[in-house]
Structure 1
Amino acid sequence: MPMRWLAEYAWLPDHAEPTPDVLVETDGGRISAVTPLPVGGPTAGVEVLGDAVRLPGLTLPGLANAHSHAFHRALRGRTQGGRGDFWTWRDVMYEVAGRLDPDSYLALARAAYAEMAQAGITCVGEFHYLHHGPDGTPYDDPNAMSAALVEAAAHAGVRLTLLDACYLTSAVDGAPLVGPQRRFGDGDALRWAERAGAFTPEDDHVRVGAAIHSVRAVPAEQLATVAGWADRHGVPLHVHLSEQPAENDACRAVHGCTPTRLLADHGVLGRHTTAVHATHPTSADVTLLGESRTGVCLCPTTERDLADGIGPARRMAEAGSPLSLGSDSHAVVDLFEEARAVELDERLRTRRRGHFTPAELLTAATVAGHAALGWGDAGQLAVGMRADLVTVRLDSARTAGVPPVGAFFAATAADVTQVVVDGRVVVRDGRHLTVDVPVELRATVEEVIG
């Protein structure tokens, strides 16, 4: 159905700041016209604008959450108060991972994805490794957990890139999977490829990609199998990389090189690959990532929550790696916070200000994230692109008096008022139209936590 939307401000491609009074027309889930109106023009004239829906505030392209573990949402507020590090947090995460089945995962992911929609996220990359039953026995449908995630995204009204993760060992030295980890594994990369390749959903809102969990989880001699599968199928490939110094140390001890070098040597890096975190790369690693045009997905709110550290975002961008953003563990679901944290963390690391422009942060949150997930036709308010429109209030207690260009340094997810995905309204007046997000989150988290 053709629609016309009048944005008070819209952030158009290749613009350093938003443009006032822009008419966006959509048809068949695509943007059919984008027309900045004349300055001082008759923006209130019904005779000129006809049935255009007015969007007060700032309208952005849809935001892309390039790295999600949906089941981690159950951990919010339950792990932040204690002492420890990434590894102690992981033990708690494994406890939750061991309790899920396809039905409970569907309910939890549906609520988590709907929360993302309310935050302006129109596409999510699910880094998925909960493949089998708790003891490692496959379900009757070996991809039942994948199917649950696809259905959850459909209910929430967002697009999904299911990044099916190969997870075979518990350590770089090849130690076997134990405890809850057993449900992650397929035995070897060939059996992973057979299972992943058998999942071919026909839904328009989903695409299937691949993931190497990490160099801890996939033996070096099997990395090329996963990378080759992704290349043959022309799909995105994601990998957790150097999130912790311990991972780097273990890789050097076993292979005599960094994880980045190991991935490069086995053909994993490249334009269709995204390294998630890349918090502790060496200078040589940064060069390898940049020269291969491997993307980097930063997840600042998770990286600070888990005490991972602060990665060299500016250096990686300057080396040639496109930057995208993810909410990862969902300690926070707010792409505005993730975006500004990229700049603010650089300030903490360097004790200098001004590393990323607002337009660069917008790119990371939108077009770069969509591209990393295989949706090259999304993330910009331009003709032919998917009709994703996210409108943000400029009159809240957080944004009042803030120029539109300052939205990524002032707004939060709570300021999102309307979300349109592929031309369909999913969120209106800040509320999801089909999912009661707080009620469903409370119910599903209580069921999982027990």
Structure 2
Amino acid sequence: MRLWFEAALLPEGWRDHVRVTVADGLIVQVLPDTLPAPDDERHGPAIPGLANLHSHAFQRGIAGLTERAGSGSDSFWTWREAMYRFVDRLDPEGLRAIAALAYVEMLESGFTRVGEFHYLHHDRDGQRYADRAAMSCVIAEAARESGIALTLLPVFYAHAGFGGTPPTQGQRRFVHDLDGYATLLEAAGKVIADLEGAVLGVAPHSLRAVLPEELSQITALLLQGPVHIHIAEQMAEVDDCLAWSGQRPVEWLFDHASVDRRWCLVHATHVTPEELGRIADRQAVVGLCPITEANLGDGIFPARAFLNKGGRIGVGSDSNVEIDAAAELRLLEYGQRLQHRGRNLLAGGPGQSTGGSLFRAVQGGGAQASGQQPHGLAVGAPADIVAFRPDHSVLVERREDAILDSWIFAGGKALVDSVWRHGRRRVSEGRHLARPAIEARYRRTLGAYLD
């Protein structure tokens, strides 16, 4: 297969008139400054697909349903109780239906890989399924059906709070002991073994859900692959960690775990300058989810300070209240503008493009955190490509990084025309080719849950 693009973002930068040859799902040749041949499939400007490094796919089912004020102060914690009530209704087929549509929407927005932080493991009464990886299996099937690449991150969740507080009734579908988690991890590896490009990682849910000795044993179960953890998302979490240990969450983690470039610290919203420096020095990735963090009232991560220290970032859709790669990047920058009362704060320097700098940062950080190597529009990498609509008014006379600026700050996912994952076209004219059947199943499933 030969694809010809008006322009394409290659590892060395933007080039015009680029022919990309694909064989067995991989890029085997990239030729810039090349006139299209009669049998080339012609498209507008193209960029590499992005990794969505943090998703709870099932939460797409409650998008928009938690926006009524409660009798007291609403927060992440009150939202969590509403989410737990929805979890009580889910069965494997329901999870598959919701996840498949979420993954379709990710592809339509420019994400070509998802890091599924997967903690819904057990039956509705909290009992283990006969197949310990039953719920992991339906996540893999949803990825297979949609075509998105999967980084599966089975979550270890054992406690409700710091120091081993017993889990609540609402958490009964999540909890494991160490032996049960080891069994799950082994089974999950088998589930994704034949799923093209799939990666297995480990995910201690958070410091409040994992004891210190459990954390060290969990991370030792997988000597390669990503390690993801929620950390310092809420000030209440920081305060509780101080009360338990005398240290802040990130501070405690770095003093008690061998954090390195395999690690992704999800959110890390409430951190000190010293903690930012330690994260950057260890080359760990901070996984930012700006839309969810805004929706839940988490706060704003100090992205400008972190990037100035050489820090690495990626983005994720987390609760999936909205799925749009460009919108995540836009809100990441806008949060900094609102906080610091300036503009183009993540551009990286005078004359630099904000969209270009953001995209390159999250492309590299997302690939690292999701275990995706190699990546980008380069020979040997999977053909994970996003092409924009060449005739869209937002792209009139745009060249090079102005294309990214216009996508992120003006056009959003409406600019996405075609998406290929591992050389197979999954999105055409902005719509996933399997959307009608997947959406119809989602409608039936969600209608039954919410009736």
Using the size of structure 2 for normalisation, the TM-score is: 0.92
More moved, 76-85 vs 218-227: 76-85
Tell me the alpha carbon deviations over residues 281-330 of structure 1, each in whole angstroms, 9 at most, x when there is no partner. Answer: 12222122112111101100001011111111122223343110101011
Indicate which of 371, 375, 380 corresponds to 1:374.
371
Structure-2 separation of matches of 1:91 and 1:395: 46
Structure-2 separation of matches of 1:175 and 1:377: 42
More moved, 211-220 vs 351-360: 351-360
More moved, 368-377 vs 358-367: 358-367
Aligned pairs for 1:157-306 (under 5 A) are: 157-187=147-177, 189-199=178-188, 200-201=190-191, 202-205=193-196, 206-230=198-222, 232=223, 234-306=224-296
Q: Which residue of 1 aligns with 2:21?
A: 25
Amino acid at match of 2:257: G
Tell me the alpha carbon deviations over residues 130-186 of structure 1, each in whole angstroms, 9 at most, x when there is no partner. Answer: 011122210010110000100110000111011011100011132111222011011
Structure-2 separation of matches of 1:414 and 1:422: 22
Tell me the alpha carbon deviations over residues 349-403 of structure 1, each in whole angstroms, 9 at most, x when there is no partner. Answer: 111222223232112443321221111112x111111111111225435545654
Is the CA contact 1:377–1:385 (under 8 Å) kept in the aligned structure 2? yes
Is the CA contact 1:6–1:21 (under 8 Å) kept in the aligned structure 2? yes
More moved, 25-34 vs 200-209: 200-209
More moved, 314-323 vs 203-212: 314-323
Aligned pairs for 1:417-436 (under 5 A) are: 417-436=417-436
SS at match of 2:17: strand
Is the CA contact 2:132–2:183 (under 8 Å) kept in the aligned structure 1? no
Q: Which residue of 2 aligns with 1:384?
A: 380
Segments of 5+ residues of structure 2 without an aligned counterpart are: 348-354
SS at match of 1:324: strand
Is the CA contact 2:386–2:418 (under 8 Å) kept in the aligned structure 1? yes
> How far did 1:443 drift?
2.8
Indicate which of 318, 331, 339 corresponds to 2:329.
339
Structure-2 separation of matches of 1:242 and 1:315: 17
More moved, 348-357 vs 327-336: 348-357
SS at match of 1:67: strand
Aligned pairs for 1:409-448 (under 5 A) are: 409-436=409-436, 438-448=439-449
SS at match of 1:366: helix
> How far did 1:266 drift?
2.4
Structure-1 separation of matches of 2:417 and 2:23: 22
Indicate which of 37, 43, 53 corresponds to 1:66.
53
SS at match of 2:172: helix
Pairwise CA RMSD: 1.8
Is the CA contact 1:30–1:384 (under 8 Å) kept in the aligned structure 2? yes
Change in CA separation of 1:440 and 1:217 when aligned onto 2, cut-off 3 Å? same
SS at match of 1:95: helix
Is the CA contact 1:8–1:21 (under 8 Å) kept in the aligned structure 2? yes
Amino acid at match of 1:204: L
Change in CA separation of 1:316 and 1:444 when aligned onto 2, cut-off 3 Å? farther
Amino acid at match of 1:67: H
Change in CA separation of 1:331 and 1:143 when aligned onto 2, cut-off 3 Å? same
More moved, 91-100 vs 400-409: 400-409
More moved, 410-419 vs 122-131: 410-419
Question: Identity over the aligned pairs, expressed in percent?
Answer: 38
> How far did 1:243 drift?
0.5
SS at match of 1:381: coil
Structure-2 separation of matches of 1:226 and 1:109: 26
> How far did 1:404 drift?
1.8
Using the size of structure 1 for normalisation, the TM-score is: 0.92
Structure-1 separation of matches of 2:131 and 2:428: 37
Structure-2 separation of matches of 1:411 and 1:271: 33
Q: How many residues align?
A: 433
Q: Which residue of 2 aligns with 1:6?
A: 4
Structure-2 separation of matches of 1:261 and 1:51: 57
Q: Which residue of 1 aligns with 2:352?
A: none
> How far did 1:445 drift?
2.5
Indicate which of 133, 139, 150 corresponds to 1:143.
133
Structure-1 separation of matches of 2:252 and 2:125: 31
Tell me the alpha carbon deviations over residues 401-447 of structure 1, each in whole angstroms, 9 at most, x when there is no partner. Answer: 65424222222122211110101111111121123254344333323
Change in CA separation of 1:79 and 1:401 when aligned onto 2, cut-off 3 Å? farther
SS at match of 2:271: coil
Change in CA separation of 1:412 and 1:405 when aligned onto 2, cut-off 3 Å? closer
Structure-1 separation of matches of 2:369 and 2:220: 18
Structure-2 separation of matches of 1:163 and 1:138: 18
Q: Which residue of 1 aligns with 2:30?
A: 34
Structure-2 separation of matches of 1:203 and 1:435: 24
SS at match of 1:445: helix
Is the CA contact 2:106–2:325 (under 8 Å) kept in the aligned structure 1? no
Segments of 5+ residues of structure 1 without an aligned counterpart are: none
Structure-2 separation of matches of 1:186 and 1:328: 22
